[in-house]
C-alpha cells in the first residue's frame, strides 16, 4: 500500500500523565512557534542535535520554520572531545557544524534546544557565556527543550529551579550537583513542565521532540513525522528501562 508523503494521520488517544500534567501552554492563543535556535559547544552529542533537527527539517516542508545555530563564535563546532582524558585512544573521529549566529547576533527565538554530550563536563568558566545566554533568553522563549545532559547546562543557568526535569541516566549522579533546586525525575523518557521540556539520554531527544510537536502543533503532525522517519517512537513519557538498569531514584530539591 502506498502512503503519500505527509498525508497519513494516525488517530491516537493520549491519557493524562503526571509528567505532562503541568504543560499548560495554549498554543492556539497566539501564532505557533516558528523560530528555533540550537545552542552549540565543543564535544556536543551528535544525535542530541541532529535527531530533533531531522524531524524539524521534515516539518519545515509543511510550514515556515527558521533555524539559528548559535555558538560563542562562528568557527565550526566539533563533536570531538576537548581533552586527551576524554579521548584515551587518540581517535580522529568527529563531525563539525558551522554556526549561523553568535550569542551577540542571535535573533529572537521561540524555541531553544540545548544538547548534551561529554563537552558538558568542561570546566565551569568555559560555559560562562553559554549560561549567560540561556539566562538572558529564557524569559522570552516560548519553549526550552534540552536533550541528555543539556539539562545540566540549563540547571546550572538556574532556569530549571523549582521545576521537574530529567537527564541522561548514566550521568544521574551529576544532576543535583548542577541543579540542587530541581526535582529530577528518574523514571522518565522526557518531562514537560510548563514551557520547559527535558529529555533523557541521546535518542530520547527524538521522542521528546515528537511529543512536543504533538502537544504544540497536533498529534497528527507528530505521527506523520515519525511515519516518514520510519521511527517507532515511545509515546509514554514514563517509559524508561535505563532508570531500572542504573537503579536510580528521584533527586528532590535541597532545602
Question: What CATH number is given to the structural domain containing 129?
Answer: 3.40.50.880
* In-domain check, residue 86: no
Let me know if residue 84 belongs to a domain. Answer: no
pLDDT at 35: 99
Mean pLDDT of all residues in 194-217: 98
Across the chain, how many H-helices and E-strands are there?
7, 11
Residue 216 has pLDDT above 70, yes or no: yes
- Tell me which residue range forms the domain holding 166: 31-74+95-246
C-alpha torsion 188→193→195→198, nearest 10: -20
| Alpha-carbon Rg for the chain in angstroms | 18
User: How would residue 126 be classed by pLDDT, with cut points 50, 70 and 90?
Assistant: confident
Backbone conformation region of residue 97, classed left if phi is above 0, alpha if psi is from -120 to 50, else beta: beta
Q: If you average pLDDT over residues 105-120, what whole number do you get?
A: 98
Assess if residue 160 is contained within a domain. Answer: yes
Instruction: Classify residue 218: in a domain, yes or no.
Output: yes
- Single out the residue of 103, 108, 120 nearest to residue 43, CA to CA: 120
Q: Give residue 188's Cα distance to chain centre.
A: 14
CB 9, CB 181: distance < 8 Å: no
Q: Is 190 contained in some domain?
A: yes
The C-alpha cell that represents 158 in the structure block: 538556574
pLDDT of amino acid 9: 38
pLDDT tens digits for range 62-93: 999 999 999 999 999 999 998 888 899 999 99
Q: What are phi and psi of 101, to 5 degrees?
A: -145, 155
Question: Own/partner pairs for 136-139, CB < 8 Å, 24+ apart?
Answer: 137/37, 137/106, 137/109, 137/112, 138/112
Per the structure, the count of domains in the chain is 1
In a domain, 85, yes or no: no
- Tell me whether residue 124 is in a domain: yes
Cβ atoms 69, 97 nearer than 8 A: yes
pLDDT tens digits, residue range 129-143? 999 999 999 999 999
Angle at 91 between CA 87 and CA 92, to 5 degrees: 120
pLDDT at 237: 98
What is the residue whose three cell numbers read 510548563? 194
Q: Evaluate whether residue 64 is within a structural domain.
A: yes
Q: Once rounded to an integer, what is the mean pLDDT over residues 204-209?
A: 99
- 4-31 confidence digits (pLDDT tens): 444 433 333 333 344 544 444 444 568 9
Q: How far apart are CA 119 and CA 150, in angstroms?
A: 10
DSSP state of 239: -
- CA 200, 63, 27: angle at the middle one, nearest 5? 60
Pairing mode, strands 196-199 and 143-146: parallel
Lookup: cell for 39: 545552542
Amino acid at each position: 500500500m502506498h502512503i503519500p508523503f505527509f498525508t497519513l494521520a494516525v488517530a491516537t488517544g493520549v491519557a493524562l500523565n503526571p509528567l505532562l500534567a503541568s504543560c499548560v501552554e495554549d498554543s492556539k492563543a497566539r501564532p505557533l512557534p516558528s523560530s528555533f535556535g540550537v545552542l552549540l559547544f565543543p564535544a556536543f552529542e551528535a544525535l542530541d542535535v541532529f535527531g530533533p533537527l531531522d524531524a524539524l527539517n521534515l516539518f519545515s516542508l509543511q510550514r515556515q520554520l527558521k533555524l539559528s545555530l548559535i555558538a560563542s563564535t562562528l568557527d565550526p563546532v566539533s563533536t570531538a572531545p576537548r581533552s586527551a582524558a576524554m579521548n584515551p585512544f587518540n581517535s580522529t573521529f568527529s563531525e563539525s557544524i558551522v554556526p549561523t549566529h553568535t550569542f551577540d547576533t542571535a535573533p529572537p527565538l521561540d524555541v531553544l534546544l540545548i544538547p548534551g554530550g561529554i563537552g558538558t563536563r568542561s570546566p565551569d568558566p568555559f560555559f560562562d557565556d553559554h549560561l549567560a545566554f540561556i539566562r538572558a533568553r529564557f524569559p522570552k522563549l516560548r519553549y526550552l527543550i534540552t536533550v541528555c545532559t543539556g539539562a545540566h547546562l540549563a540547571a546550572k543557568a538556574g532556569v530549571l529551579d523549582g521545576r521537574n526535569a530529567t537527564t541522561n541516566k548514566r550521568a544521574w549522579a551529576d544532576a543535583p550537583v548542577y541543579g540542587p533546586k530541581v526535582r529530577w525525575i528518574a523514571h522518565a523518557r522526557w518531562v514537560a513542565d510548563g514551557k520547559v521540556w527535558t529529555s533523557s539520554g541521546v535518542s530520547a531527544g527524538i521522542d521528546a521532540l515528537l511529543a512536543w510537536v504533538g502537544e504544540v502543533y497536533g498529534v497528527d503532525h507528530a505521527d506523520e513525522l515519525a511515519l516518514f522517519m520510519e521511527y517507532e517512537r515511545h509515546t509514554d513519557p514514563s517509559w524508561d528501562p535505563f532508570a531500572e538498569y542504573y537503579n536510580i531514584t528521584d533527586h528532590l530539591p535541597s532545602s
